[in-house]
Amino acid sequence: MMDVASALQRLANYRTKNSRASREIFESGVIVFRNDALHKLGDDSWQFLESLALAAVDVGRVDVAEACLKHLSAKFPESPRVQCLEGILKEATEDPEVALAFYQRLLEADPSSLAVWKRQISVLRRLGRTETAVDELSKLVDTFYTDVEAWLELADLYISLYQYTSALQALSHVLLLAPQNPFYVLQAAETAYTAEDIPLAIRFFLMTIDMIGDDEVSPPPTGITFELSAARLETDPRLATSSVLRQLAREVIETAQASQHGAESQASLIWLRR
C-alpha cells in the first residue's frame, strides 16, 4: 500500500511532466485525499483537487470527483473554472442535453468564458450537431484568435464534414500562429493531399522535411501519403507549377527508396539547405 509521502512524490512528478496519466494520478491522489493530507500541498491543494476530480471522471470514480468538487465549490463558489468542472461531471453522469443546457446558461452569464465555450462545442460535437459546433467554434476563434487548439479543432470539424478547403484555411491560421511546429505542417500536407491539391501537399511535405530533416530523433516523413503525393506530382506534369517542383518530387522518391535499403545518400537533399 502506497503511503502519503510516496503519493505526494508521485503527484509532484506528474505535475512536473504535465502528465495526463489519469489512472496513476487517481491512485496517488486518492491516498492524499482520504488521509486528510491536503494541507501538505499548501496553495497547490486546490489545483490538486481539480486534477484529482478530472482523473476520477476519467476512471469512472464519480464519487471521488463529487467530493473534490464539493471542496472546490465551497472555496470558490462563483469560479468559472469550478463551474466548468461541474459541467464535465454532468457530461459523465447525465444526458448530454443536460450538460449542454448547463453550459449555455453559464455562457449567457459570461459569454467570454473560453473553457465553458470549448466544453459546449465538445458536447455539440458529441451530439452530432457538427455544423452548429462549427458555427460556435468560428465565433470562438474570432474572439480568441491566438488559440491554436481551437483552430486545430475547427480544421478537424471541417474535415469531418469533408470541407477540406475550409480545413486548409483553418490550418493556415495554425501555421501563422505556430510556424515552428512540423507536425502542424504535416497535418496541412495530409489535408491538402486529401483535397487533391497535390502541389500544395508536396510543398507542405517538403517544408516538413526541411524543418526536421536534421533531427535524428524525428526522421523526415516518408509515409504512404507523402510518397503518393510525390509520385503523383512527378508522373503528372499537369499538376506541377514548375519543373523545379517536379524535380524535387523525383528526388524525394529516390531518397525514400534509398533509405529503405539503408542508404545514407544526402545528395538529393542538398536543396533543403540552400
CA–CA distance, 103 with 108 (Å, rounded to integer): 9
The residues spanned by each domain of the chain are 129-178, 180-274
Per-residue pLDDT reduced to its tens digit, 113-149: 999 999 999 999 999 999 999 999 999 999 999 999 9
CB-based burial, 220-244: b 16+ in 10 Å, e otherwise? bbbeeebbebbbbbbeeeebbeeee
Tens-place pLDDT, residues 200-232: 888 888 888 777 655 444 444 445 556 666 666
pLDDT band at 150 (very low <50, low <70, confident <90, very high): very high
Rg, C-alpha atoms of the chain: 24
Check residues 180 and 221 and name the one with the higher pLDDT: 180
Is the pLDDT confidence value at 1 over 70? Answer: no
Closest CA to 211 of 238, 184, 231, 173: 184
Higher pLDDT, 20 or 205: 205
pLDDT at 19: 58
Residues 6+ apart with CB under 8 A from 125: 133, 157
Mean pLDDT, rounded, for 252-271: 47
pLDDT at 231 (0 to 100) = 61
Number of residues assigned to the chain: 274
Q: Rounded CA gap, 178 and 124, in Å?
A: 27
For residue 250, the model assigns a pLDDT of: 61
Specify the pLDDT at position 238.
53
In one-letter notation, the amino acid at residue 14 is Y
| AA identity, residue 63 | D
How much is the pTM?
0.76
C-alpha cell at 108: 449567457
